[in-house]
Amino acid sequence: MITLHHLEYSQSFRVLWMLEELGIEYALKLYDRDKKTMLAPDDYKAVSPLGTAPVITDGNVTLAETSAILDYVLDQHPNAEMRPNAGAPNRAQYLFWFHASQGSLMPIALMSALFRIMEKRVPFFLKPMIKMISAGANQGFINPRLNALLTQAESDLATRDFFAGDHVTLADILMSYPMEGLYQRGALEDLPNCTAWVERIQARDAFKIATEKDGRESSILPL
Binding stretches for a copy of itself (CB under 8 A): 49-52, 61, 63-68, 71-72, 75-76, 78, 86-87, 91-92, 95-96, 98-100, 102-104, 106-107, 110-111, 114, 118, 122, 126, 129-130, 132-133, 136-137, 141, 144-145, 148-149, 152
- On the question of a cis peptide bond just before residue 54, with omega within 30 degrees of 0, the verdict is yes
- Helices 192-202 and 170-184 pack at an angle, to 10 degrees, of 110
CB closer to a copy of itself, 53 vs 188: 53
CB of 208 to a copy of itself, least distance (A): 27
Compute the residue count for the chain.
Answer: 223
CB closer to a copy of itself, 15 vs 211: 15
d(Cα 3, Cα 29) in Å, to the nearest integer?
A: 7
CB of 3 to a copy of itself, least distance (A): 15
Phi, psi of 113 (to 5 degrees): -65, -40
CB of 189 to a copy of itself, least distance (A): 22
Pairing of β 27-31 and β 61-64: unpaired
CB closer to a copy of itself, 146 vs 188: 146
CB closer to a copy of itself, 109 vs 211: 109
CB of 164 to a copy of itself, least distance (A): 12
CB of 212 to a copy of itself, least distance (A): 27
CB of 72 to a copy of itself, least distance (A): 6
d(Cα 154, Cα 143) in Å, to the nearest integer?
A: 16
CB closer to a copy of itself, 62 vs 202: 62
For 46, half-sphere exposure in the C-beta direction (CA atoms, 13 angstrom radius) is 4
DSSP-derived letter for residue 27 is E
User: What SS3 class is residue 58?
Assistant: strand
CB closer to a copy of itself, 31 vs 211: 31
d(Cα 197, Cα 42) in Å, to the nearest integer?
A: 37
CB of 6 to a copy of itself, least distance (A): 18
CB closer to a copy of itself, 149 vs 191: 149
d(Cα 62, Cα 52) in Å, to the nearest integer?
A: 12
User: What SS3 class is residue 62?
Assistant: strand
Residue 63's DSSP bridge partners are: 56
